[in-house]
Structure 1
Amino acid sequence: MSSRAAIRYAKAALEQANEANLGEVVFGDMKSVAATLENSKELRTVLSSPVIKGEDKKQALVKIFENNSDVTKGLIDILTTNKRIELLGGVANSYVDLYNQAKGVKVAEVTTAVPLSSELENKVLAKVKEMTGSDNVTLQNKLDESIIGGFILRVGDLQYNASIANQLDTIKREFTKSL
């Protein structure tokens, strides 16, 4: 969940990107920024560190994301100037959500213990399209070995939990109830 400040920055970035007809380009940038921050604990630590100067953080980010659009670089600059650079991950995620919302894209999150095969991914996409009534659906696969097997499907506020871990918990609750 992004903070209100991150959402405000994301809205401003989306508005600026749309005015420059770069909405889709910045969408790609923001997905890249979000993935980079999610996969790099070191970078997240640098951004949240009060010891490292804002200018140094900015230089590192500009170097890392040097191939990104001017809108993205401007966002990094404004976040640094306002001493809010630690919000970058939240802003990126919020931008992706706002962009998808504006384009009418439904995002389905599937949590599995192992990566989805393309065959299973197609089946899940078909089910999500049936559930939402939308042909414009993207699928995000998250891995979580703790669910043991099965899957958890989340589309907006709807969630369907068909994980083995959930079934075992249900059996455990029923068993302890009957004692």
Structure 2
Amino acid sequence: MAARYAQAMFELASEQGALDQVGTDLDKLDRAIAESPDLARLIASPVVTREQHASAVSAVADELDLSEITRKFLGVLAAKRRLFSLPSIVSSFRARLAEQRGEVTAEVASAKPLDQKQLAALTDAVTAYSGKKVRLDTKVDPSLIGGLVVTVGSRQVDASLKRKLQQLDVAMRGLG
């Protein structure tokens, strides 16, 4: 279902020449959902009425300064009681946009926020690996302790301290 909504949004945005704007809007929404547990619960709640969902997403759209096309799309999702699928819709839209642009998305989890120099170096490394333009989707995961986990398509490189400690633990257990 999320893929169908994402495809419809993609086609509508493409027809109106607003792919970049909608992509930016959806990125803002995705970050807002990730940073606000209250917002995440609200969009996932089946007990919230259509009207309450519509009012809430309207307020969020105002706060994030979203385009009219994205506002209307959120209104449709609220009216159809499909807001719970918004994270999946965003993911599908991003994948479709990246495909059209000839880009690959690399999901990067790091123990602490990366600075611009680190992001540039990582972008260069993933570009060299994939042979395509790269869009980094970063998130912070303190449980990694240090290092990175980079996922490109179905490939994952886990260079986190957490993983290295797990490997050391397994090796030490094998010696005992």
How high is the TM-score relative to the length of structure 2? Answer: 0.89
Alpha-carbon distance in 2 for matches of 1:47, 1:64: 11
| Counterpart code for 1:155 | V
Q: 1:54·1:80 contact (CA, 8 Å) conserved in 2?
A: yes
Further displaced range: 11-20 or 57-66 = 57-66
Further displaced range: 155-164 or 66-75 = 66-75
Number of aligned residues: 174
* Structure 1 residue 90, shift from structure 2 partner: 2.3
The correspondence of residues 60-71 of structure 1 with structure 2, limited to 5 A, is: 60-66=56-62, 67-71=65-69
Find the residue that maps to 2:20 and give its secondary structure.
helix
Structure 1: unaligned runs, 5 residues or longer: none
Q: 1:111·1:151 contact (CA, 8 Å) conserved in 2?
A: yes
Residue in 2 that maps onto 1:106: 104
* Structure 1 residue 49, shift from structure 2 partner: 2.8
RMSD: 1.7
C-alpha distance after superposition, 1:39-97 (max 9, x if no partner): 11112222233333211210221122033223212212221222212222322232122
The correspondence of residues 138-157 of structure 1 with structure 2, limited to 5 A, is: 138-157=135-154
Equivalent of 2:157 in 156, 160, 166: 160
Change over 3 Å in CA distance of 1:110–1:20 after alignment to 2: same
* Structure 1 residue 133, shift from structure 2 partner: 1.0
Residue in 2 that maps onto 1:119: 117
Q: 2:54·2:79 contact (CA, 8 Å) conserved in 1?
A: no
The correspondence of residues 1-179 of structure 1 with structure 2, limited to 5 A, is: 5-66=1-62, 67-134=65-132, 136-179=133-176
Change over 3 Å in CA distance of 1:152–1:50 after alignment to 2: closer
Alpha-carbon distance in 1 for matches of 2:60, 2:117: 35
Change over 3 Å in CA distance of 1:13–1:165 after alignment to 2: same
Q: 2:148·2:160 contact (CA, 8 Å) conserved in 1?
A: yes
Q: 2:25·2:70 contact (CA, 8 Å) conserved in 1?
A: yes
Q: 1:151·1:163 contact (CA, 8 Å) conserved in 2?
A: yes
Find the residue that maps to 1:151 and give its secondary structure.
strand
Alpha-carbon distance in 2 for matches of 1:9, 1:164: 39
Structure 2: unaligned runs, 5 residues or longer: none
* Structure 1 residue 119, shift from structure 2 partner: 2.4
Alpha-carbon distance in 1 for matches of 2:29, 2:173: 46
Find the residue that maps to 2:71 and give its secondary structure.
helix
Alpha-carbon distance in 1 for matches of 2:137, 2:83: 26
Further displaced range: 15-24 or 145-154 = 145-154
Alpha-carbon distance in 2 for matches of 1:163, 1:50: 37
Alpha-carbon distance in 2 for matches of 1:146, 1:85: 29
Find the residue that maps to 1:108 and give its secondary structure.
strand
How high is the TM-score relative to the length of structure 1? Answer: 0.88
Find the residue that maps to 2:135 and give its secondary structure.
strand
